[in-house]
Amino acid sequence: MPGADHEYRLYGELAGWWPLISPPGEYTQEATYLAAVLSSTAAIPVHDVLDLGSGGGHVAMHLKDRFALTLADISGDMLDVSRKLNPQCAHVRGDMRTMRLGQQFDAVLTHDAIDYVTSRDDLAMVIATAFAHCRPGGIAVFVPDYVKDDFRALTGSGGGGEDGSGRKATFRERTWDPDPADDWVQAEYEFILREADGTVEVVKETHRLGVFARETWRQLLVAAGFTVAPGFANRSMPGKPPANLIIGHRGLRPSPSSAQANS
């Protein structure tokens, strides 16, 4: 995972292209599903939600009418993009492995930013962050793009957004696993960025993305103090279910093992 001083260009100097590379409208169906999950899964009513790795706020923009959102990201540039889209939401800069706001929420959501966690130790740290910010009775919802159990190499393309000035962006990607023995895969992106005056810049960037076995997720969630209910994927909700959905439930009372370590 790149540190705060070593972000991928996509989330640093190129952040202003994010709404064109990954247009907010593409998140509508999945966000509808996640809103239903957030509303119906916890033991307490869910009003306030912490979004860890909120990026440009494209998921958040579909949730903000239903929940009071706090949007956290390691990239100041991505937070600036999100602030324009979601001025009514609280924004905070922080590393999801280590940040502590001294505040608890009814739910903690970590959407595709969890892909940037590429070691078990870091995944355990993010889960500990989620636990520390999750109110008793609340839930932590993780939406990784990939899990090791069913990862397959892929190629694809996307983007196509255009802004009022005429700027356009598209991308191609190839994601593959150089070494199935470890917990990450490699995504090779080619971003085609067309300025309003027709100038085109092609940016190639390789990202390292985490892929953890479902059993690893379960073990780390339980070690942090969450419980994990099996079979959630079978529940029917409005919208489109994400490829992977992992939910930790924080009990209404602290468990003896988790109370000291995580609160």
Classify residue 75 as left (phi > 0), alpha (psi -120 to 50) or beta: beta
In this chain, which stretch among 55-63, 132-140, 146-154, 233-241 interacts with ligand SAM, using CB under 6 A?
55-63
The residue number whose beta carbon is nearest to ligand SAM equals 55
Residue from 1, 147, 193, 209 binding ligand SAM (CB under 6 A): 1
In angstroms, rounded to a whole number, what is the distance separating the alpha carbons of residues 202 and 217?
36
Q: Which is nearer to ligand SAM, 170 or 254 (CB)?
A: 170
Residue 59 touches ligand SAM, criterion: CB under 6 A:
yes
DSSP 147: B
- Please, which residues have CB within 8 angstroms of residue 13's CB and are 6 or more apart in sequence? 77
Laid out side by side, the sheet with 184-194 consists of: 154-162, 168-176, 184-194, 200-210
Smallest gap from residue 209 Cβ to ligand SAM (A): 10
Q: Which is nearer to ligand SAM, 137 or 170 (CB)?
A: 170
Site for ligand SAM in 93-152 (CB under 6 A): 95-97, 111-113, 116
Asked whether the CA dihedral 82, 155, 190, 172 is positive or negative, the reply is negative
Helix (H, G, I), strand (E, B) or coil at 17: helix
213 touches 148 (CB < 8 A) = yes
Smallest gap from residue 116 Cβ to ligand SAM (A): 4
Residue 248 touches ligand SAM, criterion: CB under 6 A:
no
Residue from 14, 63, 74, 125 binding ligand SAM (CB under 6 A): 74
In this chain, which stretch among 33-41, 49-57, 146-154, 201-209 interacts with ligand SAM, using CB under 6 A?
49-57
The H or E element spanning position 31 is helix 28-41
Residues that bind ligand SAM (CB under 6 A): 1, 11, 53-59, 73-75, 78, 95-97, 111-113, 116
